[in-house]
Amino acid sequence: MAEGTGRGETLSIWFFVGIMTLVYGLVLLPYGAWAWFGGHEAPTTLNRLHPTFWWGVLLTLFGCFYTLRFRPHRGDERKV
């Protein structure tokens, strides 16, 4: 049974955690790349470290791991 979302449901709470962080990573990563390589970095302190890009990478990796690790499997119970 999926952990935490209820009897017979196929999606685990951890899957939601993964999807959320993956989607945010996939928004931040290309935006950060565009800002970095296109010379559009916002005038924030330490923008030379390109935090948007690197944070996007981190969230994408974290999200990928949780999404894949807790993705619904065929054998999981289905909601009636």
Partner 1 sequence: MYKGVPDIFFVREPMAVLAFAVSRQLTQLHPVDVLILALYFALVLFIGFYVKGSTNTSEEFFLAGREMSAWIAGLSFVSANLGSLELMGWAGSAYQYGILAMHWYWIGAIPAMLFLGIVMMPFYYISKTHSVPGYLRLRFGEGARALSAGSFALMTILMSGVNMYAMAVVMQTVLGWNMTFSIWIGAATVAIYVMLGGLRSAIINEVLQFVLIWAGAALIPILGLIEAGGWTNLKAQIARNVGSNDYMHMWSTLGTFKGNPMGIHWTGIVFGLAAVLSFGYWTTDFLVVQRVLSANNLRAAKLAPVIGAAFKLAVPLIVVVPGLLALAVLKNADGSTMHLVAGDVAKATGQHAYDEVLPLMLIRYCGPGLLGLGITALVAGFMSGMAGNVSAFSTVWTYDLYGAYLNKKASDKHYVAMGRWSTIVGMLVSIATAYIVANANSIMDYVQALFSFFIAPLFGTVILGMLWKRATKEGGFWGLLAGTISSIAMFAYVQTGGKAALAHIALSPDAKPMAENMYRALWSWLICVAVTVAVSLLTKPKAESELEGLVYGATVIPDDGSRTLWQKPVFWAGVVMVVFVALNLVFF
Interface residues toward partner 1, by CB under 8 A: 3-9, 11, 13, 16-17, 19-21, 23-24, 27-28, 31-32, 35, 41-47, 49, 51-52, 55-56, 59, 79
CB of 73 to partner 1, least distance (A): 17
Q: Write the CA distances from 24 to 39, 52, 59, 60, integer angstroms.
A: 22, 11, 7, 7
Closest CB to partner 1 among residues 60, 73 = 60
Q: How far is the CB of 52 from partner 1 (least distance, A)?
A: 5
CA angle 55, 57, 22 (to 5 degrees): 95
How many other CB atoms are found less than 10 A from the CB of residue 67? 19
